[in-house]
Amino acid sequence: MKQIGTSSALKNQLEMIRGKSTGLVPTMGALHAGHILLVEKSVGDNDITIVSIFVNPTQFNDKRDLEKYPRTLNSDLEILSEMLGKDDMVFTPAADDIYNNEKIPGIDLGHLDKIMEGEHRPGHFMGVVRIVNILFELCLPQRAYFGRKDFQQLAVIKSLVKQSGIKTNIIECPIVREANGLAMSSRNSRLLPEMREKAGIIYRTLEKYREQALTVDITALKNNIITEINAQKGFKVEYFEIVDDIELKPLVSVTDINNESHYTGCIAVYAGEVRLIDNIKFSF
C-alpha cells in the first residue's frame, strides 16, 4: 500500500489509476473491527481502496473531545498494511492541506441536523459534510463505505449525495460489537475496563425492549430504556428516540407506524465522561 500525506500527491496517484474502480473508506483512525469490516468490503468490491485517516477538527463541537480523541497512526498503518494491496492507498493529510480554500457545499440538512446528534452536538454534521465532500471531490470514488453505528451520519451523507448530485454509491455496513454487545467505537479505548464491561448494558437493554415494542406504549418503552440504563452507576442517557430511517422523524405512538418505513432506536449515553452512541433496528 502507499501512504500519501498530501492532496496533491493523492491527485497524482489517482491520475495513474484512471479507469479503475475505487472505494473510499473515510476514517478518523484508531481503527477497530468495525473499520476492518469496511476496508474488507471495499477491497472485495473495488480495484483500488483508499482509506483516509484524518481526525477532522470541524466536526468536534467540544475542543476537549477533539484533544482526547485517540490517535494511533502507527498501529493503524500496521493493520492496513496487512489488508491492502500494493496499489491501495492510505491518505493521511494535515488539516491545513484539507481546509484550503474549500468550497462549502450549499446544502440544507433541515430536520436531519436538528434532532439527536444534531441537537446535542451543534455544528457536528456540517463538519462531517465538509470533510466528506472534500474527500469525495478529491477521490471521486465509485463507492464509499460507512458503518451503521453512525446511523444519523449515514442519513446526513445520503442527503449530501442526493442534494449535490454526487455519483458515489454509499455502502452501509453493519455494526460490529464487542463480546458483551458494546458497539465498536474508537472512543471505547477511553473507557476504564470496568465501565467498558458494564457498557454492554446499552445494547442488552435496547434488545430487551425491542422485543416488547409492539406491546408497550412508545413513551413507556422510551422511559423504561432510559430508566434501566440510568440505574447503572456512572451511566447517563442523553437521548433515546425511535425514528424512521430516511427523514429521522421521531415515532410518538404505535398508531403513527407506516408499514412502508423502517424504524431505528437511537441512543446516546455517557459512560463516565465518555459519550457512546448505539442504535438498533425495530420491526413493528
Please identify every residue annotated as catalytic: 35
Q: Which is nearer to ligand PAF, 46 or 186 (CB)?
A: 186
* Least Cβ distance, residue 52 to ligand PAF (angstroms): 7
Q: Which is nearer to ligand PAF, 126 or 216 (CB)?
A: 126
Residue 263 phi, psi (nearest 5): -125, 145
* Least Cβ distance, residue 167 to ligand PAF (angstroms): 18
Q: Which is nearer to ligand PAF, 75 or 212 (CB)?
A: 75
Q: Which is nearer to ligand PAF, 83 or 254 (CB)?
A: 83
Distance of alpha carbon 201 from the chain centroid: 21
How far CA 109 is from CA of 117, 120, 156, 168, 239, in Å, comes to: 13, 15, 7, 19, 20
Judge contact between 158 and 43, C-beta under 8 A.
no
* Least Cβ distance, residue 201 to ligand PAF (angstroms): 24
* Least Cβ distance, residue 254 to ligand PAF (angstroms): 32
Q: Are strands 169-173 and 143-147 parallel, antiparallel or unpaired?
A: parallel
Place of cell 412502508: 260
Applying CB under 6 A, the residues found at the interface with ligand PAF are: 26-28, 56, 59, 128, 131-132, 150, 153
SS3 readout for 133-201: HHHHHHHCCCEEEEEHHHHHHHHHHHHHHHHHCCCCEEEEECCCECCCCCECCHHHHHCCHHHHHHCHH
